[in-house]
Structure 1
Amino acid sequence: MKYMKKAAILMLVVMMTMAITITSSAEKVKLVWTTCCAQTDRHALFKDIAEQYMAKNPNVEVEWMYPAGNYTDNMKTYYAAGAAPDVIWIGGDIWVFANLFLPLDELVAKDAGAKAINPAILRLSQFEGKQIGLPYGANSHTMMYNKDHFGEAGLAYPHVNWTFDDLQRMAKVLTRDTNGDGQPDRWGVHLYAVTQWGLTAGGDFYTPDGRKAQFANPVTIDMLQFAADAVSGKLGISPVPEDAQAGLKGLVSIRNLGIFDVPAYRQAPFDWDVIKFPAWVHNNQRYENTFVSLENWAIFNTTKHPKEAMDFVSFLLSREVMQQITTAGIVIPTQSIMTPSFVQSSPPANLKAFIEVLDHGHRISNTHPYGRDITTWMNSQTTWRNIWNGTVPTRIALPELQEQINIMLDEYWASVGAN
């Protein structure tokens, strides 16, 4: 009897174990993955990528979601309501959530896809020594030059070691009065959005620890003065007022170009190519710079499934997926192994320049948890605006602005309890 009782108990335990095992295997882990923005070609690609992952990982359900409306505001609302997604796409507003993401340093150390990301780009998504996002793609700026204009002027094309002195010399020759009315109607250069990237001519906008601003350095002061003289019309080589479409209209010979501008320029009725930004030379030393913005994968610290979320991000950075993203042409890949696939989509002939300049990106004013406020404040200042209308020199304006911003940073760090 005792033997039968023990056997019955043992059988019951076995059955319960089997039931638990079956139940556990039947229960799927659900990850919510949100991406931005409204490009329907991205939607189709990302939904397909989610399906590919689920086919390889049948125990995980990935719900892809594109929340219409203001993406950043939606993420704030979801997080505050305790309904934040697990894995998200995040661009320049990564700094709004800097303290709300899981550190991804483990992936950087161990994952092949994360290791393949350009280190110069990886550092741009680090905060207080932690990797808060993994940049899979970027938008960088190169200089577009109108080859037809150069041919008409008898000028050699810009070369890889060119400088801003070369740029100014070329722009003077390229500025033309084509209709004979005594006024230029075709300009040598348009320094588009220089108010953003010009402030990093001498390095990052902030110190490495983010405690102070450091843009009032001799290199940035000098380079930004050149830019202000061009933008204000003092040099006579740039359109005043600015026209964002002047390059596409054939009214500007040299203009910085982002990767998202390339499709429109492929329809332009003139021959053109791109090259990296010219270097600024100060005391016989070359300083390289460009504008770079990033597209990251990040994981909210509220996820209930960090292991699976990490594995999904690893999949997103795998060669298999990055090949699809690169071939789709939606972004510049940050992994050098993707360069051959990226350059196949040319023109322009020197499309690889968009990848080469990634080494020269710096942290601009909004790459900080308090960066939005600082950027808004700076743009509102009369002193800042007077730089661009040519009434206040940068050697006076930049130190004044930096001093005020450093006071703001001191107050910010005190408010968050930083030492």
Structure 2
Amino acid sequence: MNNNLKWLSLVLMSSMLVLSACSGGSGSAGGSAEPTPSNEPSGGGETAEQPKKEPVTIEFMGHGNPNEKKIFEQLIASFEKKYTHVKVKYTSVPPGEYGQKLTTLVSSGKAPDVFYVGGSEFYRFAESGILMNLQAQLDQTDLFNPDNVWKQALDRYRYDGSTVGTGDIYGLPKDVGPWAFVYNKDLFDKAGIAPPPARAGEWTWDDMLEAAKAITADNNGDGKTDVFGVGAYNLESAVWGNGGDFLDSTTGTVTIDKPEFYEAMQFAADLNLVHKVSPNQEAEQAMNAYTRFVNGQMGMFAMGPWDQPAFWDLPFGWDIAAWPASPNTGKTATWLGSMGFAVSAKTKHVEEAFNLAAFLSLDEEGQRQNYQLGQAVPNLIDMANGEFLAYEKAPANRQVFLDIIQDYGRTDLPARSKDNQWLDTFWQEASKVWNGEMSAKDWTAMMQPKLQELYDKGNK
């Protein structure tokens, strides 16, 4: 998931990560693609007993930072060793350009055979028949044991013809992305304070604020803060932990004007406005929160598993903890992202395209390489609970990733509606709260009817 865009997005760490999401078989949103013949089980690789296959080239498009591109180049090389007749043409697009490029390719009939899809794009593409129904292939392959794949990830890619979350599978999880609370151990030691605990509910906003004040420092005495206690505090975590939400998905009601919401939003804003433990807009423009953290100038931040390769090279100690709990509820929450591998309903190479998606999502060796290279938590539950937890590299508290997946992670916001103009408008206009122009209570009361109108227009 990647992720550092505008100042307000960094302050909130809303999931721009969910940007983070086609070529012809018989599958469509209403039917199944033809199953692989039983004498050539999909996902099984090639053997000497099988007839030699004609060379095939398939196209795969994703997005990510240079580390992610490097990781997928290695995974694709492993796939090509297993399926020797297949050549994969891999294109990695900058995250900010991916959605538009994919939409253009789909509209022109030139979609890749396999591509990333996530959030609202999955809903729209499944509804439009752009994605292949993978259920028939999954029923044939020996790679797929639904009991050993995170339900929280699989259900993101189910579609029954009208609703996301139930029915057949139209995509395979690239990952399930727990958004964790990361901290600089050296700065905590220097401040003489205990680090945040790994168990949810043991540390509250108040505890976090006390630690942030102890870490925040003007080291050279020039009147400017050199080290901040916390940055890019996750608004979703604050709102959900406080018992609020952005949207009642059952009724389609935007709920930002409720006390549980605006009190949490004001808490996040006051980290800078009142307590000065988080960068303001000017400081953020000079150096964003991610850069401050990797430079050792921020005590607490946020990270996904995909950040591990860069963090492994940091010159200071770090670990992850549970997000602080609301003192009003005692509850902890954070968002759980995901990106999926989709196969085009128009691919001319159904078997090979499915095999690539399945290898990247479900193959045991592929999943092992994935976590060892620092890309993701394994999609395979037994691997995640076993060798992933025992892996010697940081973070030491790897269990936090699994706790988020299993206990207190919530579906990231963009995946909860097929048109997100209402949500984009929320983030764009929220600067009035972050810069202190309006209180969260007044701003949310003003914005609720506007956002409701946008939500209704795009989703009802």
Bin of the TM-score, shorter chain as denominator length = 0.7 to 0.9
Partner of 1:157: 195
User: For the Cα contact (< 8 Å) 1:53–1:315, is it kept in 2?
Assistant: no
Deviation at 1:123, TM superposition (A): 3.8
Q: Which secondary structure state, in structure 2, belongs to the residue aligned with residue 35 of structure 1?
A: strand
The SS at the match of 1:122 is helix
Partners of 1:30 and 1:211 lie apart in 2 by: 46
CA distance in 2, matches of 1:207, 1:30: 47
Q: 1:82 aligns with which of 104, 109, 114?
A: 109
Give the equivalent residue in structure 1 for 2:278. Answer: 238
Is the 1:67–1:74 Cα contact (8 Å) retained in structure 2? no
Letter aligned with residue 342 of structure 1: F
How far apart are the structure 1 equivalents of 2:155 and 2:366?
23
Partner of 2:45: none
Measure how far apart 1:333 and its partner are: 2.4
Q: Flag structure 1 segments of 5+ consecutive residues without an equivalent.
A: 1-24, 415-419
Q: Which residue of 2 aligns with 1:279?
A: 325
Q: Verify the 8 A CA contact 1:109 1:115 in the aligned structure 2.
A: no
Match of 1:224 in 2: 265
Q: Which has the larger radius of gyration?
A: 1
Question: In 1, are the aligned partners of 2:422 and 2:452 still within 8 Å (CA)?
Answer: no
**Aligned match of 1:301:** 345
RMSD: 3.5
Counterpart of 2:131 in structure 1 is 101
Q: Secondary structure at the match of 1:41?
A: helix
From 189, 198, 212, give the equivalent of 2:230: 189
Of 299, 318, 322, 2:367 maps to 322
- Cα distance in 2 for residues equivalent to 1:302 and 1:184: 55
1:330 is paired with a residue whose SS is coil
Q: Aligned partners of 1:312, 1:281: CA distance in 2, in Å? A: 46
Q: What are the ranges of 5 or more consecutive residues in structure 2 without an aligned counterpart?
A: 1-50
What letter corresponds to residue 321 of structure 1 in structure 2? G
- Name the counterpart of 1:44: 73
Query: Within 5 A, what are the aligned runs for 1:389-408?
Result: 389-408=435-454
Q: 1:329 to 1:152 in 2, by over 3 A?
A: closer
Which position in structure 2 is the counterpart of 1:9? Answer: none
Give the alignment's TM-score, normalised by structure 1.
Answer: 0.76
Residue equivalent to 2:421: 373
Distance 1:68 1:295, change over 3 A: closer
Q: Is the CA contact (8 Å cut-off) linking 2:205 and 2:326 kept in structure 1?
A: yes
Q: CA deviation at 1:174?
A: 2.7
- Per-residue CA shift, 1:30-53, capped at 9, x if unaligned? 673413236542343243243245
Corresponding residue number in structure 1 for 2:184: 146
CA distance in 2 between counterparts of 1:402 and 1:304 reads: 47
The offset of 1:109, in angstroms, is: 8.2
Q: Which moved more, 1:247-256 or 1:66-75?
A: 66-75
The letter of the residue matching 1:396 is D
Q: How much does 1:310 deviate? A: 4.7
1:329-340 correspondence to structure 2 within 5 Å: 329-339=374-384, 340=386
Corresponding residue for residue 118 of structure 1? 150
Deviations 1:105-158 (A, max 9, x none): 677889634442322333444561444432231443322222233223332221
Which amino acid is the alignment partner of residue 66 of structure 1?
Answer: T
Match of 1:238, SS state, is coil
Alpha-carbon spacing, 1:120–1:40, altered in 2? closer, same or farther (3 Å): closer
Counterpart-to-counterpart distance in 2, 1:183 and 1:84: 50
Distance in 2 (CA, whole Å) between partners of 1:287 and 1:108 is 37
- Residue 170 and residue 124 in structure 1: after superposition, are their counterparts in 2 closer, same or farther (change >3 A)? farther
TM-score by length of 2: 0.70
Q: Distance in 1 between matches of 2:80 and 2:375?
A: 19
Kindly provide the amino acid, as one letter, of the partner of residue 271 in structure 1. Answer: G
Name the SS of the counterpart of 2:254 in structure 1: coil
Q: For residues 219 and 331 of structure 2, what CA distance do their matches in structure 1 show?
A: 35
Distance 2:253 2:157 in 1: 18
Letter in 2 for 1:278: P
Where 1:386 maps in the other structure, the secondary structure is helix
Distance in 1, Cα, partners of 2:208 & 2:397: 18
State the alpha-carbon separation in 1 of the partners of residues 250 and 82 from structure 2: 37
Residues 13-64 of structure 1: per-residue CA shift (max 9 Å, x gap): xxxxxxxxxxxx7886967341323654234324324324525xx7xx5644
How many corresponding residue pairs? Answer: 380
Aligned AA (2:421)? D
Post-superposition offset of 1:199: 5.4
Tell me, in whole angstroms, the C-alpha distance in 1 between the residues paired with 2:244 and 2:134: 25
CA contact (8 A) 1:188 1:252 kept: yes
Letter of the 1:82 counterpart: G
Q: What's 2:393 paired with?
A: 346
Contact in 2 for aligned 1:50/1:64 (Cα 8 Å): no
Paired residue for 1:6? Answer: none
From 196, 205, 208, give the equivalent of 1:167.
Answer: 208
Cα displacement string for residues 241-288 of structure 1 (whole angstroms, at most 9, x for unaligned residues): 334222223322222233344333333333322212112243xx3332
Q: Contact 2:118 / 2:415 at 8 angstroms: preserved in 1?
A: no
1:373 CA displacement: 2.3
User: Is 1:412 equivalent to 2:458 in the alignment?
Assistant: yes
> How much identity, in percent, do the aligned residues show?
24
In 1, the alpha carbon distance for the partners of 2:139 and 2:420 equals 31
In structure 2, C-alpha distance between the alignment counterparts of 1:306 and 1:204, rounded to whole Å: 41
Aligned to 1:255: 301
Cα deviation code 1:135-186 (max 9, x no counterpart): 2314433222222332233322212221212111222233334445666543
When structure 1 is superposed on structure 2, of 385-394 and 325-334 the one drifting more is: 325-334
Which stretch of the first structure deviates more once superposed, 330-339 or 88-97?
88-97
Residue of structure 2 in register with 1:32 after alignment: 58
Cα offset, 1:68, TM superposition = 5.5
Please name the residue that 1:19 is paired with.
none
Task: Tell me how far 1:363 sits from its aligned partner.
Answer: 3.3
Paired with 1:199 and 1:376, the residues of 2 have a C-alpha distance of 17
